[in-house]
Structure 1
Amino acid sequence: MAKVYGTIIIGSGPSGYTAAIYAARSNMSVLVLQGYQTGGQLMQTSEVENYPGFEDGVMGPEMMEKFEKQAQRFGAELVPEDAIKIDTSAKPFTVTTDSAKYQGHTIIIATGASAQWLGLPNEQRLQGRGVSACATCDGFFFRGKDVVVVGGGDTAMEEATFLTRYANHVTLVHRRDSFRASKIMQDRARNNPKVSIVLESEVADVLGEEEVTGVRLRNVRTGEESTLDAHGLFIAIGHKPNTEIFKGLVQMDAQGYIDPVEYTMTNIPGIFAAGDVTDHRYRQAVTAAADGCRAAIDVERWLENQGIHVGIENWE
């Protein structure tokens, strides 16, 4: 008989792997579609120092490798492919990848969100070596240093203000002549003596060989360029949830984040969502992992209420 998994988890960041650990440990048959880029955003993070249990810090990729091995230990099957289509017209659900189709009684969407970048070649090359999209994740590493924050919304103001706890000085760069951030957030940044503001300018390039040493700024009105010494560049121009294939299927907010209707369950009974794909506020590894735990427990209870038995020893 064809395999029907208790749950198919789409995504392999902290939320996806934690969901897999909890679900598989409960003797549920679990498939994780990891995606071609496994491990989520932490694969682009140099060192993680704020995750409980790693008192000396841990490299992002090493941490995700530990998550992966723990999920495998409890019997989760891992497939390093992207989900490209979900069919909810019949149960069990069908999830299609480039090479196969898989069936599951439930689905946990844990595809995360991606930071929006400026699109500069050196920006990608220096990620984890001074270029970051998360001040709360990486701000500690810039104690006593000068940093640049790019953006004009509440997130940029919040990141700039937060970084003043560690950095010597923060330069906030925005390409327009005014900010779109709320007044209270603007006031916090403007009134902070450690923050200076450069308007009508964009980052034209990130400087440095092994690590960031500065940025080249370009005035968008005059075209004039200048160099600003800095050890860090924080991009705060927003995040985009990875929900493209779920549009028109599950309920989302205006930004494309999945909006669960009951705990972690979406508007489609049997389909759940966890992690950054539902979270535009915290975006932390620990909150994503917690969400994965919640989703797995919700799945287990939902299946039990439906009278569906999904132990690994009896495929349905």
Structure 2
Amino acid sequence: MATHKTRMLIIGSGPAGLSAAIYGARAGMEPIVVQGLQPGGQLTITTDVENYPGFRDVIQGPWLMQEMQAQAEHVGTRMMWDTIVEVQMDGSPFRAIGDGGDVYEGETLVIATGAQAKWLGVEGEQELGGKGVSACATCDGFFYRGKKVVVIGGGNTAVEEALYLTNHSPDVTVVHRRDSFRAEKILQDRLFANEKVSVEWNKAVKRFVGDPASGGLTGVEVVDTVTGETSIIPADGAFVAIGHAPATELFKDKLELDGSGYIVVEVGTPKTAIPGVFACGDVMDHTYRQAVTAAGTGCMAALDAERYLGEKDFKAAE
């Protein structure tokens, strides 16, 4: 067991955490990044990335995260392979304890633990992930131009993703296990007014149909929740849109969380209610959830951490 000390401790190694590390290292804060259970974040399970600025051609998510990590290390970041099981945030230095007993102390703390899309857990979902099955229409919808797609869900996320997909697909089917949506009425009105969208009510997804080795997804098998009858909806792409779960278990009763479990920050900033503690990326953003917006808030967290330490040092010198 060892104690590792830094001016900026970052928990999480997705685009938000690594962007914070790059800016923090360049500011001389010698950041430590504790990578967590999924080093690189959600992009490590994303294949084609076509919407991250700076790359003309399609790039691979894992490659992008490898490059971000290499850049962070190149400018002075220390990467630690550990999983945090406890945090102590009573005051600076903030302490995080790894599952092996190592202790990490930071004069500032940047939380970039991210969020995970909720999945259905049905047959074919994992096997066809990235081969027709996705949880992000904004990320992957472009690849289904002119093709038939299915969206699963009935909340704001599902309706918003279905509307977005009409920019690319002429045939969007929304599958919902009930006979009415939970989404806001204004979103429902827009959906029902769109001629490209149809709705399959009272249908639950039984499995995703297709061959991962040749062609990918071909359809979605559903079961009628009223009659029990099964049928297959032909589809080239299927988007699971049943929400996201932010990784905030560590921070319950320590930081304010909203009704969906996301960390509450000062509007327009990554500042939490605890001075010196910042949250960035999907752990505090339930609206956009994009790699580029996560990276942007990571930059903001590092800049605010630098200002916080500067003010702290000035007061100490006085």
1:111 to 110, 113, 120: 113
Alignment partner, residue 232 of structure 1: 237
Residues in 2 aligned to 1:125 and 1:81: alpha-carbon distance in whole angstroms:
28
Residues in 2 aligned to 1:126 and 1:267: alpha-carbon distance in whole angstroms:
41
- Give the residue type in structure 1 aligned to 2:283: V
Residues in 2 aligned to 1:161 and 1:243: alpha-carbon distance in whole angstroms:
29
Secondary structure at the aligned position of 2:124 is classed as helix
Alignment partner, residue 156 of structure 2: 154
Within 5 Å, give how 1:114-193 maps onto structure 2.
114-193=116-195
- Number of aligned residue pairs: give it: 309
Please state how far the C-alpha of 1:4 moved relative to its aligned partner.
2.0
Residues in 2 aligned to 1:128 and 1:107: alpha-carbon distance in whole angstroms:
34
Secondary structure at the aligned position of 2:208 is classed as strand
**Identical counterparts, % of pairs:** 50
- TM-score under structure 1 length normalisation: 0.94
Secondary structure at the aligned position of 2:126 is classed as helix
In the TM superposition, what whole-angstrom CA distance separates every residue of 1:74-98 from its partner, at most 9, and x where no partner exists? 1111112221110123531110011
The CA RMSD measured in Å over matched residues stands at: 1.6
Confirm or deny: 8 A CA contact 1:152 1:237 kept in the other structure.
yes
Alignment partner, residue 15 of structure 1: 16
Is residue 223 of structure 1 aligned with residue 251 of structure 2? no
Secondary structure at the aligned position of 1:4 is classed as strand
Unaligned runs of 5+ in 2: none
- Give the residue type in structure 1 aligned to 2:260: Q
1:286 to 269, 292, 301: 292
Please state how far the C-alpha of 1:242 moved relative to its aligned partner.
0.8
Confirm or deny: 8 A CA contact 2:92 2:108 kept in the other structure.
no
Please state how far the C-alpha of 1:3 moved relative to its aligned partner.
4.4
- TM-score under structure 2 length normalisation: 0.94
Residues in 1 aligned to 2:83 and 2:94: alpha-carbon distance in whole angstroms:
16
Within 5 Å, give how 1:261-280 maps onto structure 2.
261=266, 263-280=269-286
Residues in 1 aligned to 2:291 and 2:297: alpha-carbon distance in whole angstroms:
10
**Greater CA drift, 297-306 or 257-266:** 257-266
1:251 to 256, 259, 262: 256
Residues in 2 aligned to 1:37 and 1:49: alpha-carbon distance in whole angstroms:
22
Alignment partner, residue 44 of structure 2: 43
Alignment partner, residue 312 of structure 1: none
Alignment partner, residue 302 of structure 1: 308
Please state how far the C-alpha of 1:308 moved relative to its aligned partner.
8.0
- Give the residue type in structure 1 aligned to 2:243: G
Confirm or deny: 8 A CA contact 2:4 2:103 kept in the other structure.
no
Confirm or deny: 8 A CA contact 1:51 1:286 kept in the other structure.
yes
Confirm or deny: 8 A CA contact 2:153 2:240 kept in the other structure.
yes
Residues in 1 aligned to 2:180 and 2:271: alpha-carbon distance in whole angstroms:
40
In the TM superposition, what whole-angstrom CA distance separates every residue of 1:154-209 from its partner, at most 9, and x where no partner exists? 21111111111111311100001111112221121112111110010111000111
**1:220 and 1:74, CA in 2 relative to 1: closer, same or farther beyond 3 A?**
same
